Structure 1
Amino acid sequence: MTDSTIETIGIQNTANEPEPSDSLKAFGEAHKAFRRRAGHTQEEYAPLVGYQPSTVASIDQGRRFPQRRFVDQAEEILDAFGVLKGVYKHATREKGLASWFRQWAELEEVAISLYTFENRLVPGLLQTEEYARTLFRERVPVLTDSEIEAQVTARLARQSLLGERPNTSFSFIVEEHVLRRPTGGEEAMREQIEHLLEATEPRNVEFQVVPMSRGYHPGLNGPMQLLETPENEWFAYLEGQESSQFIVKPQTISVLHMRYAKLRSQALTPEDSRSLLERMRGA
């Protein structure tokens, strides 16, 4: 793989994927210059920092936000005089404009805390196969059968996180109306409720419901996800119909934390939420 390699990363709205932010382009150019000064190709350099050549290429292009561990290793290996750390500080103060989801999914795999609020549908990590299949089958524009299978397979594969990361703190807050919408039919939704009860049994998984009686809450602007890395960095992900944002700006993440904390206080307790699910399952 050469320096001209560009890693293609996309989600459903790849056609609307924005250009990389100027700050990430600046970091990428600086990193590439120091790497070349050290005489390393991307293929030679990748194992030194513990990443794939495609990831190095993506960072060089300014299309991927580097984790702090990458920056620290690059700084030491390339003897960059503190330049990379300095540029990185500015990059973390801007919104990541990338619309791809794969970057977020990679962070999910190492997160020590993962918070999710949803007011549209059951969070992907908690969906049954039938629930997920219904969402993809009814998508507009229509997906082919093979595309549906690929999407369902990928979504179910991500759910292994719940079982494989017992030390990760998972928090889910969901609007009650999401659970009362018969997505896929009454029987499919009863199966989904049963799955929620099973999936949220572990001590590290917290599930709360925002009751419909709550007239107003700070999550009305839409769903949000927050995660904490092993380096205690926080990132956020906001998803819309035709655009998504990967957030790294500390001020924005602070606001989202405040909203999530307020939602936690206004939602039913985990115990009461579980009781509600049991009543819904019975009904």
Structure 2
Amino acid sequence: MSDWNVEPDDDEAGAVIRTVARQLKLWREAAGLTQAEFGTAIGYGEELVSSVERRRRIPRPEYLDAADTALNAGGKIAAMKEDLAEIRYPKKVRDLKKLEAEAVELCAYNNSVIQGLLQTEEYMRASMATRRPAFTEEALEQQVAARLARQDILAEAPPRVFSFVQCESTLRRPIGGTMVMRRQLEHLLALGRFRNVDLQILPLDREDNAGLAGSFRLLRLQDGSTVGHNEVQLVSRVINEPKEAQVLDMRYGIIRAQALTPRESLAFIEKVLGEE
């Protein structure tokens, strides 16, 4: 179990929390059980049951499964696991995931770390562990779970089109150590062979680099519009103003032209891997 830790302006999560807590309490009272009796029936303490009903704690899937069985709910309580699974993630992650679900093409340029959709879990944990102030263990697990959940989009049908440009520096920065980076580079090679993924490397010896201002993403949506996404220190911003999105679109096109082709890029990654 864990604290809710919901952002003050996260109305969507708040609504889900209230609904789940209310339903659990109604089912318990309808069964004529006190919080202590219900806790005994599902294998949890009275204090924890009280915290869940007062919306101070988030029930894990096994809590809802146990409640469903003890209250003979026939799957109605267990079904709430899907709603809770989404709101466990920070609001900015959920909003980004919704945008990604609407996109027919996703493009990303990164010059600091491997792009999140391309990261192995080991690399992900190692990069997040460098954050200062440090994440708590619980917050780290939440961040990792949220990012891993977003990666499902790479294999969803019908396949979307993905374009990634990674600066060479991201291949050589030894986040997590040698073995973590080896597995990360091997993972890049595997993803780069997906038919709907174009993976390009922008070498450090290029005299021209239109991406010096930093990493960013572009999402081309089903309605034909394009939005950008920029994440820097303490700020995660969706850029939907057409003129600003157009600048990023133009910039990304130049970056792709300056980078190695997808075929050359896979060979380059293999070369770097051989140097590890």
TM bucket (normalised to shorter chain) is: 0.5 to 0.7
CA displacement at 1:256 relative to structure 2: 0.7
1:281 is matched with: 273
Query: Which residue, 6, 11, 35 being the options, matches 1:6?
Result: 11
| 1:224-235 aligned within 5 A | 224-235=216-227
What is the correspondence of 1:197-212 to structure 2 with a 5 Å cutoff? Answer: 197-212=189-204
Q: CA distance change for structure 1 residues 120 and 6 in 2, over 3 Å: closer, same or farther?
A: same
The 2-side partners of 1:265 and 1:119 are apart by: 16
Which of 101, 104, 122 is residue 130 of structure 1 equivalent to?
122
Residues 124-143 of structure 1, C-alpha deviation per residue, up to 9 Å, x if partnerless? 00000110001122211111
TM-score by length of 2: 0.66
Q: Residue 155 of structure 1: which of 147, 160, 165 is its match?
A: 147
CA distance in 1, matches of 2:201, 2:124: 20
Aligned to 1:120: 112
CA distance in 1, matches of 2:200, 2:166: 6
Partner of residue 182, structure 2:
190
Q: 1:118 to 1:165 in 2, by over 3 A?
A: farther
The structure having more radius of gyration, on CA atoms, is 2
What is the rounded CA distance, in whole Å, between the counterparts of 1:147 and 1:101 in structure 2? 13
CA deviation after TM superposition for structure 1 residue 167, in Å? 2.7
Written as runs of structure 1 = structure 2, the 5 A alignment for 1:218-257 is 218-257=210-249
1:107 aligned onto 2:99: yes
CA distance in 2, matches of 1:221, 1:154: 27
| Structure 1 residues 145 and 5: CA distance shift in structure 2, 3 A | closer
Q: 1:253 to 1:146 in 2, by over 3 A?
A: same
Counterpart code for 2:197: V
Q: CA RMSD in A?
A: 2.1
Superposed CA offset, 1:93-142 (max 9, x none): xxxxxx93432221102310000000110000000011000112221111
TM-aligned CA deviation for residue 165 of structure 1? 4.0
Instruction: Give the counterpart letter for 2:214 in structure 1.
Output: G
Letter of the structure 2 residue corresponding to residue 108 of structure 1: E
Note if contact 1:170-1:206 (Cα within 8 Å) is conserved in structure 2.
yes
Distance between the aligned counterparts of 2:272 and 2:207, measured in 1?
21
Which residue identity lines up with residue 213 of structure 1 in the other structure? D
Report 1 or 2 for greater relative contact order, CA contacts < 8 Å, sequence distance ≥ 6: 1
What's 1:177 paired with? 169
CA distance change for structure 1 residues 166 and 189 in 2, over 3 Å: closer, same or farther?
farther
Q: Which amino acid aligns with 1:152?
A: V
SS of the residue corresponding to residue 12 of structure 2 reads coil
Kept in 2: contact 1:117–1:223 (CA 8 A): yes
Is this contact kept in 1: 2:166–2:201, CA < 8 A?
yes
Structure 1-normalised TM-score? 0.64
Does the CA contact (< 8 Å) of 2:93 and 2:146 recur in 1? Answer: no
- 3-state DSSP of counterpart to 2:230: strand
Any conservation in 1 of the 2:109–2:165 contact (CA below 8 Å)? Answer: yes
- Mapped contact 1:166–1:204 kept (Cα < 8 A): no
Is 1:269 matched with 2:261?
Answer: yes
1:165 to 1:114, Cα distance in 2 relative to 1, 3 A: farther
* Gap runs ≥5 in structure 2: 1-8, 15-82, 84-90
Q: Which blocks of at least 5 consecutive residues in structure 1 are unaligned?
A: 10-53, 55-98
- Per-residue CA deviation, residues 166-201 of structure 1 (Å, 9 max, x unaligned), is 531100001001100111001110100000011121
Runs of 4+ in structure 1 displaced over 4 angstroms?
none
Percent identity, please.
Answer: 41
**For residue 83 of structure 1, what is the aligned residue in structure 2?**
none
| Shift, 1:273, TM fit | 0.4
1:42: which partner in 2? none
